[in-house]
A and B are shown apart, each in its own frame.
Chain A
């Protein structure tokens, strides 16, 4: 009897069908939710479908693919997407980690400083892009131009000369608070006794950071990277407001390329192919991210 009662390999009383009947509605909705748009995108990618030529709609085979893959803008857009993602991740996480450690210390005015540093996150991307465009980076009236002039330098036209760098700066400014917030929470969750043990073991500030704080932050850094990646792949408003992807394709990323296809060339078919490409790229990135962080997340 006792052996029977503790036999955990017994199937649960409810059969498979019972479980399925409960799960089915959710699964169905999620299925439709994610699969229908994907299938439609796939469908359009094989169609000739340009809004400027509504009479020439029809099956186009791999025409859209051929067109896109030979588009000189595509490689640049992929490269810009990766560059934008990598640079913003590096800046926000790097700076965020350092700031998180600093903000964990006691100092005068810490409360106010925390609010100030978090503020950019609550400003809408379009607004902050406009702020940067007209008040900070404007070659004539911008604050940066003013600073450069006041030390005798010649101001630069940020969006014309270094368009992608300018966008990286703006996006980093927006996302730094997010990284700081998540990392600060993680820093604060570090056991005080563990830090004291390290102090007793002879760890100075640098060794403490390197051997105790940074390993402790691993998980938070992984999570922040993933979340930021999801959003940074789709950066759009900042580009739209400031450079419109230009000059040429210099600041066009994949999501802006899709937009250019649809609304500048009215090419739905081409846009669909670019969208599929974006999905593939996102999945490749997700794969590598998951693989490098999966071990981290387990522990």
Chain B
């Protein structure tokens, strides 16, 4: 149960800056997800918070106390590793009580805490087993149990589900969110999987190349991405991007000219001059097939997921789009279609990739 503050936190390895000035406020009892592409520095940032990596410059505060120079064990945080990092020669119970033993708790106290954690995680029947006698999901739960018994101020997770198969991942995802609510714990969860981020987070921190791109609740980021990177990173399938130019601006709406020559009238006001190049972002669910649709396109592939289908289409000037349609669609590959754009759901980005408005 804690608040965390990062102030201008930086990290360099041999003059290569990996974390490039991060300011963040993480709130008590929230599950914050760090999400970003591989190599963007998520793990490094998490390990800096844990105390396993030194902070090159900047300050880290836990509950108002600067902890830069406090060793990992004294920060009161618990880290769940991607590889679980269980102690192979210890039983499940010993794994979970190791930290308590080092802290000098009596045997009775240790057993009580382990029993509690085991009950939360449904591990009671496995307490005497060794890690190698457990399944991946069970190991994962032991690793979480090892964190729970310490009653940490903050739980840190580094891609804890990435070694599990797809089905188990979905189940553990739900269990973790349940656990979060049950323990009312503060958690930081690192993942490169935007689905995990969207489904689990109270607040998402999108990282890219060592900087924070945007912070907000999942739906805030989904609805109002601040730039092209966030827009493209969150959402599955990805947001479609089309190039266009601003043609004219009238009070209350803007006309943009698409690359294929068609025109769109976008409600709202923009802070941009006429004739400038912009990027239009539109999510697959905001595109429809109609007879009057302004974009003529050819279907290249149809993906049927059952409940819905994704049409991969190519516009007249070879821009690829994905359109979400009902699962019952009769559209087939190579068919000509007209795509209608829901102009109230458009995202507009200037040439630097920054969003031109927040709706």
Residues of A within 8 A of B (CB): 191, 193-194, 196-203, 207, 211-212, 215-216, 218, 299
Q: How far is the CB of A212 from chain B (nearest CB, A)?
A: 7
* 0/1 string, B22-55, CB within 8 A of A gives 1: 0000000000000000000000000000111000
Which 9 A-B pairs have CB atoms at the shortest separation, nearest pair first? Answer: A202-B73, A201-B99, A197-B85, A193-B85, A215-B89, A202-B102, A194-B85, A193-B81, A200-B72
- Residues on A with beta carbons closer than 8 Å to the beta carbon of B81: 193, 196-197
Secondary structure of the A contact surface, majority rule: helix
Residues of B within 8 A of A (CB): 50-52, 71-73, 77-79, 81-83, 85-89, 98-99, 102-103, 130, 132, 146, 150
> How far, in whole Å, are A201 and B147 apart by their CA atoms in the complex?
9
> How far, in whole Å, are A218 and B90 apart by their CA atoms in the complex?
13
Q: How far is the CB of B113 from chain A (nearest CB, A)?
A: 13
> How far, in whole Å, are A89 and B89 apart by their CA atoms in the complex?
24
Q: How far is the CB of B122 from chain A (nearest CB, A)?
A: 22
**Interchain CB contact under 8 A, A200 and B52:** yes
> Given that A207-B102, A211-B98, A215-B89 are contacting pairs, would A200 and B83 also be in contact in the complex, using a CB cutoff of 8 Å?
no
**Interchain CB contact under 8 A, B79 and A197:** yes
Task: Tell me the nearest residue of chain B to A208, going by C-beta.
Answer: B102
Secondary structure of the B contact surface, majority rule: loop
**Interchain CB contact under 8 A, A199 and B98:** no
> How far, in whole Å, are A198 and B89 apart by their CA atoms in the complex?
13
- Residues on A with beta carbons closer than 8 Å to the beta carbon of B89: 215-216, 218, 299
Q: Could you list 20 examples of A-B contacts with CB < 8 Å?
A: A193-B81, A193-B82, A193-B83, A193-B85, A194-B87, A198-B87, A199-B52, A199-B72, A200-B50, A200-B77, A201-B102, A201-B146, A201-B150, A203-B98, A203-B102, A211-B98, A212-B87, A215-B87, A215-B89, A299-B132
> How far, in whole Å, are A253 and B85 apart by their CA atoms in the complex?
47
- Residues on A with beta carbons closer than 8 Å to the beta carbon of B150: 201
- Residues on A with beta carbons closer than 8 Å to the beta carbon of B99: 200-202
Given A193-B82, A201-B98, 7 more contacts at CB 8 Å? Answer: A196-B79, A198-B87, A200-B51, A200-B77, A216-B89, A299-B88, A299-B132
Task: Tell me the nearest residue of chain B to A211, going by C-beta.
Answer: B98
> Given that A202-B73, A211-B98, A215-B89 are contacting pairs, would A196 and B103 also be in contact in the complex, using a CB cutoff of 8 Å?
no
- Residues on B with beta carbons closer than 8 Å to the beta carbon of A218: 89
**Interchain CB contact under 8 A, A191 and B83:** yes
- Residues on A with beta carbons closer than 8 Å to the beta carbon of B82: 193
Q: Which of A194, A198, A202: most chain B CB closer than 10 A?
A: A202
Q: How far is the CB of A195 from chain B (nearest CB, A)?
A: 9
Q: Which of B71, B85, B86: most chain A CB closer than 10 A?
A: B85
- Residues on A with beta carbons closer than 8 Å to the beta carbon of B98: 198, 201, 203, 211
Kindly identify which residue among A191, A194, A200 contacts B79, using a CB–CB cutoff of 8 Å.
A200
Q: Which of B78, B87, B130: most chain A CB closer than 10 A?
A: B87
Task: Tell me the nearest residue of chain A to B77, going by C-beta.
Answer: A200
Task: Tell me the nearest residue of chain A to B98, going by C-beta.
Answer: A201
Q: How far is the CB of A293 from chain B (nearest CB, A)?
A: 15
Kindly identify which residue among B78, B85, B86 contacts A196, using a CB–CB cutoff of 8 Å.
B85
Task: Tell me the nearest residue of chain B to A216, going by C-beta.
Answer: B89
Q: How far is the CB of A139 from chain B (nearest CB, A)?
A: 49
- Residues on B with beta carbons closer than 8 Å to the beta carbon of A212: 87
> How far, in whole Å, are A111 and B77 apart by their CA atoms in the complex?
36
> Given that A191-B83, A191-B85, A215-B89 are contacting pairs, would A200 and B103 also be in contact in the complex, using a CB cutoff of 8 Å?
no
> How far, in whole Å, are A193 and B87 apart by their CA atoms in the complex?
10
Task: Tell me the nearest residue of chain B to A203, going by C-beta.
Answer: B102
Q: How far is the CB of A246 from chain B (nearest CB, A)?
A: 47
- Residues on A with beta carbons closer than 8 Å to the beta carbon of B146: 197, 201
> How far, in whole Å, are A193 and B150 apart by their CA atoms in the complex?
18
- Residues on A with beta carbons closer than 8 Å to the beta carbon of B50: 200
> How far, in whole Å, are A63 and B87 apart by their CA atoms in the complex?
58
Task: Tell me the nearest residue of chain A to B74, going by C-beta.
Answer: A202
- Residues on B with beta carbons closer than 8 Å to the beta carbon of A216: 89
- Residues on B with beta carbons closer than 8 Å to the beta carbon of A193: 81-83, 85
> How far, in whole Å, are A199 and B99 apart by their CA atoms in the complex?
9
Q: How far is the CB of B43 from chain A (nearest CB, A)?
A: 11
- Residues on A with beta carbons closer than 8 Å to the beta carbon of B79: 196-197, 200
Task: Tell me the nearest residue of chain B to A201, going by C-beta.
Answer: B99
> How far, in whole Å, are A200 and B46 apart by their CA atoms in the complex?
13
> How far, in whole Å, are A299 and B131 apart by their CA atoms in the complex?
11
> How far, in whole Å, are A215 and B86 apart by their CA atoms in the complex?
13
**Interchain CB contact under 8 A, A196 and B102:** no
Q: How far is the CB of B191 from chain A (nearest CB, A)?
A: 17
> Given that A193-B81, A207-B102, A211-B98 are contacting pairs, would A200 and B87 also be in contact in the complex, using a CB cutoff of 8 Å?
no
> How far, in whole Å, are A299 and B83 apart by their CA atoms in the complex?
19
> How far, in whole Å, are A203 and B81 apart by their CA atoms in the complex?
17
Task: Tell me the nearest residue of chain A to B47, going by C-beta.
Answer: A196
**Interchain CB contact under 8 A, B102 and A200:** no
> Given that A191-B85, A212-B87, A215-B89 are contacting pairs, would A199 and B73 also be in contact in the complex, using a CB cutoff of 8 Å?
yes
Task: Tell me the nearest residue of chain A to B102, going by C-beta.
Answer: A202
Q: How far is the CB of B104 from chain A (nearest CB, A)?
A: 10
- Residues on A with beta carbons closer than 8 Å to the beta carbon of B71: 199
Q: How far is the CB of A72 from chain B (nearest CB, A)?
A: 47
Q: How far is the CB of A296 from chain B (nearest CB, A)?
A: 10
- Residues on B with beta carbons closer than 8 Å to the beta carbon of A191: 83, 85
Q: How far is the CB of B163 from chain A (nearest CB, A)?
A: 12
Q: How far is the CB of B237 from chain A (nearest CB, A)?
A: 34
Q: How far is the CB of B135 from chain A (nearest CB, A)?
A: 18
> How far, in whole Å, are A236 and B240 apart by their CA atoms in the complex?
80
- Residues on B with beta carbons closer than 8 Å to the beta carbon of A198: 87, 98
> Given that A201-B73, A201-B99 are contacting pairs, would A196 and B83 also be in contact in the complex, using a CB cutoff of 8 Å?
no
**Interchain CB contact under 8 A, A202 and B52:** no
Q: How far is the CB of B48 from chain A (nearest CB, A)?
A: 13
> How far, in whole Å, are A246 and B126 apart by their CA atoms in the complex?
60
